[in-house]
């Protein structure tokens, strides 16, 4: 769910740029280090960015119809870590604004925060946490992708509520109102995205597990165990 | 996905106008719209940007109308919340749903109109940028702005691969549709995930091939791109300046004026 161009009034759109800035700077710093140390990851990062863009521009099979695009950033965060994903998210959001007319330029700061920073951080946290506790991998990936998607929309509602607080009940009442109205499309969407990303993960493990091992997403022993239990 | 606006940007009538001028016009209009406290000036910006895009840049009218439909669902949903949640002024209309009463007041109506007009003005200005400026030209502007070169390089590579992957995705999607891939909800989920996973693997293999190709051409972490000479057309600068001044004047003169 992107906030459209011109929707956020004046103090807020600048504020979200400022809030997003430290995360993007960390991401840029990590990117710079990648460019210097492990040059061979750059083309892979580029195709991953393109992949996130294409995935998020595909129409999801959805129950409710409108705005049914996956965010794809959950998968990015699991694979590349949250900060580099925030840079990918920034680039993808600029392209979405320019090529697909989703989102906008002044609202870019707010959208980067909800889609590129908040969601991926949560997805990454859930994935690493779930792996540590030894939760079933499909459940972990499902939770990471679905909750990241949900969290993105919760943050968006919060951003809108801050900008347009209700007359009675203030920010909280307005947050509930935005949250409820977006929940109609976003909750089924988050579940669908969770299922799909889990299945995508399954297919990747089945065909090219070496990619995941190389990115240190899974250890070789984990891959063997998963493939063993499948067979 | 069918409407990659970049395709149109490559063959619009303003293709040869300097990129900086087009960006100044689009971004300037967006900023005037967002700082405006009256719905009048974003409305004028929205309409005039639409006219400029369709009449001067010769973008097909039907495509443009279709594009305007994209932000409508978001604007409508959020507009309703603003309409009934914010307050102030005299109550105009009260609805009761599930025992909660929602009140629409003059000020909430004004705010909803203002925000909708701003979105309309902003989206039209954004459409102007996306429909007249090919992304390739944005990269040189990004470099002029001294953005980190890692960021610009990564953007260029991503840009290149978007089109490669879209081609792959369309081919795979067609193949799946021919095999009844999307004939039901359950099947759609499976087909879509398979598409996503195969796309990722294909993307990865392309990335590995790209690495070899770039190494073979002595890639040392810097992409050099040839850029043609650019000059600003004085007539264009004057007209863009006049347009922005006119919009600013309306914004300042009508500050705070509302329709209701």
DSSP codes joined into one string, B177-232: HHTTTTSSHHHHHHHHHHHHHHHHHHHHHHHHHHHHHHHHTT--S-----------
H or E element that contains A16: helix A10-37
Residue of A13, A54, A58 lying closest to B34 (CB–CB): A13
H or E element that contains A200: helix A170-207
Count of helices and strands (H, E) across chain B: 9, 2
For residue B182, the chain A residues in CB contact (below 8 A) are 61
Helix, strand or coil for residue B132?
A: helix
Residue-wise pLDDT tens digits, B180-209? 888 888 888 888 888 888 888 888 888 888
Q: Do A132 and A195 form a contact (C-beta atoms < 8 A)?
A: no
Residue-wise pLDDT tens digits, B85-138? 776 667 777 777 766 667 778 888 888 888 888 888 888 998 898 888 888 788
Q: Do A157 and A175 form a contact (C-beta atoms < 8 A)?
A: yes
Residue of A6, A51, A177 lying closest to B121 (CB–CB): A6
Nearest-CA distance from A75 to chain B in Å? Answer: 10
| Position with higher pLDDT, B4 vs B20 | B20
pTM for the whole structure: 0.85
B161 to A97: CB separation less than 8 angstroms, yes or no: no
For chain A, helix, strand, coil in percent to 5 are 80, 0, 20
A44 to B204: CB separation less than 8 angstroms, yes or no: yes
CA–CA separation, B188 and A128 (whole Å): 29
Tell the burial category of A74 from Cβ atoms under 10 Å away from its Cβ (0-12, 13-18, 19+): buried
pLDDT < 70 regions, chain A: 1, 58-69, 230-231
- Comparing alpha-carbon positions, the chain B residue that sits nearest to A33 is B150
CA quadruple B154, B158, B160, B161: dihedral, nearest 10? 140
**Proportion of chain B above pLDDT 70, given as a percent:** 92
Q: Do B155 and A42 form a contact (C-beta atoms < 8 A)?
A: no
CA–CA separation, A148 and A20 (whole Å): 17
- Comparing alpha-carbon positions, the chain A residue that sits nearest to B27 is A105
Q: Give the mutation candidate from B33, B35, B161 for the A interface (greatest A CB count, under 10 A).
A: B161
A98 to B77: CB separation less than 8 angstroms, yes or no: no
Nearest-CA distance from A129 to chain B in Å? Answer: 24
CA–CA separation, B206 and B198 (whole Å): 12
Other beta carbons within 10 angstroms of residue B61's beta carbon come to 12
H or E element that contains B93: strand B91-97
Nearest-CA distance from A125 to chain B in Å? Answer: 22
Per-residue pLDDT band at B68 (split at 50, 70, 90): confident
Nearest-CA distance from B165 to chain A in Å? Answer: 7
CA distances (Å), A217 to each of A4, A201, A205, in order? 34, 11, 11
Mean pLDDT of B13-25: 85
Q: What is the pLDDT of residue B236?
A: 85
User: Quick one: which of B33, B235, B224 has its CA closest to B140?
Assistant: B224
Q: What is the pLDDT of residue A1?
A: 62
Q: What is the number of CB-based contacts under 8 A between chain A and chain B?
A: 256
User: Quick one: which of A211, A217, A196, A120 has its CA closest to B207?
Assistant: A211
Q: Give the mutation candidate from A46, A80, A206 for the B interface (greatest B CB count, under 10 A).
A: A46
Nearest-CA distance from A113 to chain B in Å? Answer: 18
A196 to B196: CB separation less than 8 angstroms, yes or no: yes
Residue of B151, B160, B200 lying closest to A51 (CB–CB): B200
DSSP 8-state secondary structure symbol assigned to residue A117:
I
CA distances (Å), B226 to each of A53, A66, A197, B18, B223, in order? 27, 42, 40, 16, 10
B119 to A5: CB separation less than 8 angstroms, yes or no: yes
Nearest-CA distance from B231 to chain A in Å? Answer: 24
Q: Do A10 and A73 form a contact (C-beta atoms < 8 A)?
A: no
Residue of A7, A54, A192 lying closest to B118 (CB–CB): A7
Q: What is the pLDDT of residue A168?
A: 73
CA–CA separation, A80 and A91 (whole Å): 15
A31 to B111: CB separation less than 8 angstroms, yes or no: no
- Comparing alpha-carbon positions, the chain A residue that sits nearest to B187 is A61
Residue-wise pLDDT tens digits, B206-245? 888 888 888 888 877 667 766 666 677 888 889 889 999 9
CA–CA separation, A156 and A158 (whole Å): 5
- Say yes or no: ipTM exceeds 0.85: no
Q: Degrees (nearest 5) of the Cα angle B135, B137, B140?
A: 120
Residue of B86, B158, B195 lying closest to A46 (CB–CB): B158
CA–CA separation, A23 and A82 (whole Å): 9
Nearest-CA distance from A134 to chain B in Å? Answer: 24
- Comparing alpha-carbon positions, the chain B residue that sits nearest to A6 is B119
For residue A47, the chain B residues in CB contact (below 8 A) are 157, 161, 165, 203-204, 206-207, 210
B17-52 burial string, b = 16+ CB within 10 Å, else e? bbbbbbbbbbebbbbbbbbbbbbbbbbbbbebbbeb
Residue of A39, A48, A61 lying closest to B189 (CB–CB): A61
Q: Do B33 and B121 form a contact (C-beta atoms < 8 A)?
A: yes
Nearest-CA distance from B196 to chain A in Å? Answer: 6
Q: Do A192 and B189 form a contact (C-beta atoms < 8 A)?
A: yes
* Interface contact B256, partner A, CB < 8 A: no
Q: What is the pLDDT of residue A203?
A: 87
For residue B35, the chain A residues in CB contact (below 8 A) are 10
């Amino acid at each position: 769910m992107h906030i459209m161009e011109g929707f956020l009034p004046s103090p807020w759109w600048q504020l979200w740029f400022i809030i997003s800035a430290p995360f993007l700077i960390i991401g840029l710093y990590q990117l710079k280090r990648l460019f210097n140390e492990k040059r061979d990851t750059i083309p892979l990062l580029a195709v991953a960015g393109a992949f996130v863009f294409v995935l998020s521009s595909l129409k999801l099979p959805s129950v409710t119809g409108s705005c049914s695009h996956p965010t794809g950033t959950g998968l990015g965060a699991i694979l590349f870590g949250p900060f580099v994903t925030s840079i990918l998210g920034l680039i993808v959001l600029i392209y979405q604004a320019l090529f697909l007319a989703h989102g906008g330029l002044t609202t870019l700061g707010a959208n980067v925060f909800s889609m590129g920073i908040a969601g991926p951080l949560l997805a990454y946290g859930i994935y690493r946490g779930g792996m540590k506790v030894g939760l079933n991998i499909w459940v972990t990936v499902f939770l990471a992708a679905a909750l990241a998607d949900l969290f993105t929309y919760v943050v968006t509602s919060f951003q809108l509520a801050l900008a347009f607080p209700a007359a009675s009940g203030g920010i909280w009442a307005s947050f509930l109102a935005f949250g409820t109205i977006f929940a109609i499309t976003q909750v089924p969407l988050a579940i669908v995205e969770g299922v799909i990303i889990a299945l995508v993960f399954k297919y990747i493990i089945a065909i090219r597990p070496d990619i995941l091992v190389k990115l240190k997403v899974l250890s070789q022993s984990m891959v063997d165990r998963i493939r063993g239990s499948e067979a | 996905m069918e409407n990659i606006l970049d395709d149109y940007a490559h063959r619009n009538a303003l293709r040869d106008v300097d990129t900086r001028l087009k960006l100044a016009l689009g971004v300037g209009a967006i900023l005037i719209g967002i700082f405006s406290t009256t719905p009048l000036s974003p409305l004028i910006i929205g309409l005039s940007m639409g006219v400029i895009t369709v009449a001067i840049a010769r973008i097909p009218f039907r495509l443009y109308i279709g594009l305007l439909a994209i932000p409508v669902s978001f604007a409508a949903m959020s507009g309703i919340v603003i309409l009934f949640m914010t307050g102030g002024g005299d109550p105009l209309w009260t609805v009761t749903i599930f025992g909660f009463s929602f009140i629409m007041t003059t000020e909430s109506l004004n705010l909803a109109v203002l925000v909708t007009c701003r979105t309309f003005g902003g989206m039209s200005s954004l459409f102007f940028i996306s429909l007249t400026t090919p992304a390739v030209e944005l990269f040189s502007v990004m470099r002029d702005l001294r953005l980190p070169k890692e960021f610009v390089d990564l953007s260029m590579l991503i840009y290149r691969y978007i089109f490669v992957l879209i081609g792959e995705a369309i081919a795979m999607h067609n193949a799946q549709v021919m095999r009844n891939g999307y004939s039901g909800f359950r099947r759609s989920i499976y087909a879509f995930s398979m598409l996503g996973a195969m796309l990722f693997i294909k993307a990865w293999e392309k990335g590995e091939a790209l690495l070899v190709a770039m190494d073979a051409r002595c890639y040392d972490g810097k992409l050099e791109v040839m850029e043609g000479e650019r000059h600003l057309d004085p007539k264009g600068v004057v007209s863009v300046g006049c347009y922005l001044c006119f919009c600013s004047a309306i914004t300042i003169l009508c500050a705070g004026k509302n329709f209701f």
